[in-house]
């Protein structure tokens, strides 16, 4: 059973009394996570979307969506976090980025008797798995299924709206020096495709590869997407970067600025992110409005 598998994987039983894998007359201990520290901003959003925001007792400093998350105590960074700050929240589950930087953290938490759940944060398939895993951890698989269906419907609506359009060649500007972009291992590559674009570095496997200026020029992007925080000012215009003036998108001033906090979150708002990209890449399209998210309930 999925419930039992999760219990083995993170040391929690997400099953409640009456679960179908309990033996007759067997007492089932309810070990659903009730005090969660989330060190992944997207996981914080997912838990709120599941109706389990009241289970959060700690968050990373970047986990500020939805607005209610700001009321959850900030325990600092999500990569190599302060264990002292995390443990001070008395969690029964800590949600971590999966990766070598946090392997020691997970091991130390286990030594302290605290369960952890490590999640990948690269692809849309990862998002589906994360929604299911978090729903199981807090004992709300039905809410997770509903959220997963809503996300799929949002992305499907954007894909339908851009079906048949001419694909715009896109360079996604992650970092200036050295130039860094996205490859097909990133969910952003998938969002660009859904939005009616074609990532000029979509042939690269790594999620965030470094590339050279010559390769960017050869990629001949029609549009450059620059993620930027909503309250930030662009203090490094692309036209002022040496050699970038030869890139068509720069020469024609087709630079698109999109909220980095929206694009960078592999969570419930990916449909909104895809829709924003579609509007930027294809301003000529009449795009749908996504329905407001259903308020889900996670009892217990």
What is 164-183 written as a DSSP string? TPPPEEEEE-SBTTTTB---
Q: Which of 257, 2, 259, 265 is nearest to 136 (CA)?
A: 2
Contact residues for 259 (Cβ-Cβ < 8 A; gap 6+): 227, 228, 229, 230, 276
pLDDT at 30: 57
Where residue 154 falls (left for φ over 0; alpha for ψ -120 to 50; beta otherwise) is alpha
Q: Where are the beta strands (DSSP E) in 7-154?
A: 36-38, 56-59, 93-97, 115-119
Q: Which of 168, 182, 175, 179 is nearest to 243 (CA)?
A: 179
pLDDT at 239: 79
CA distances from 135 to 22, 47, 93, 152, 203 (A): 20, 8, 13, 16, 34
Q: Are 2 and 136 in contact (CB under 8 A)?
A: yes
| pTM of the predicted model over 0.85 | yes
Cβ burial 208-222 (10 Å sphere, 16+ → b, else e) = bbebeeebbeebebb
Q: Which of 90, 96, 263 is nearest to 191 (CA)?
A: 263
Contact residues for 148 (Cβ-Cβ < 8 A; gap 6+): 128, 131, 132
pLDDT in tens, the chain (300 residues): 333 333 334 444 334 333 344 444 444 445 699 999 999 999 999 999 999 999 999 999 999 999 999 999 999 998 889 999 999 999 999 999 998 888 899 999 999 999 999 999 999 999 999 999 999 999 999 999 999 999 999 999 999 999 999 999 999 999 888 899 999 999 999 999 999 999 999 999 999 999 999 999 999 999 999 998 766 666 667 878 888 998 999 999 999 998 988 998 999 999 999 999 999 999 999 999 999 988 899 987
Helix extents (H) in 66-140: 83-87, 100-111, 124-137
CA distance 86 to 96: 11
């Amino acid at each position: 059973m999925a419930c039992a598998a999760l219990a083995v994987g993170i040391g929690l039983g997400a099953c409640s009394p009456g679960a179908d894998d309990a033996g007759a007359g067997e007492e089932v201990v309810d070990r659903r996570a009730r005090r969660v520290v989330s060190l992944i901003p997207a996981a914080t959003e997912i838990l709120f979307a599941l109706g389990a925001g009241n289970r959060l007792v700690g968050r990373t400093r970047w986990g500020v969506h939805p607005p209610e998350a700001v009321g959850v105590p900030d325990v600092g960074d999500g990569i190599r976090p302060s264990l002292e700050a995390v443990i001070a929240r008395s969690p029964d589950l800590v949600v971590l980025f999966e990766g070598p930087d946090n392997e020691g953290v997970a091991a130390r938490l286990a030594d302290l008797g605290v369960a952890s759940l490590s999640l990948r944060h690269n692809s849309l398939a990862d998002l589906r798995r994360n929604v299911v895993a978090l729903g199981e951890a807090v004992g709300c698989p039905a809410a997770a299924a509903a959220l997963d269906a809503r996300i799929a419907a949002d992305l499907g609506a954007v894909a339908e709206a851009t079906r048949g359009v001419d694909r715009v060649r896109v360079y996604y500007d992650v970092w200036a020096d050295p130039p860094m972009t996205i490859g097909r291992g990133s969910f952003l590559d998938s969002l660009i495709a859904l939005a009616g674009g074609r990532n000029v570095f979509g042939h690269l496997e790594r999620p965030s590869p470094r590339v050279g200026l010559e390769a960017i020029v050869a990629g001949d992007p029609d549009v450059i997407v620059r993620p930027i925080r909503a309250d930030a000012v662009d203090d490094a215009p692309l036209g002022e970067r040496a050699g970038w003036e030869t890139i068509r998108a720069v020469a024609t001033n087709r630079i698109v600025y999109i909220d980095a906090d929206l694009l960078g979150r592999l969570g419930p708002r990916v449909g909104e992110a895809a829709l924003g990209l579609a509007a930027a890449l294809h301003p000529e399209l009449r795009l749908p409005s996504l329905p407001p998210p259903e308020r889900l309930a996670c009892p217990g």
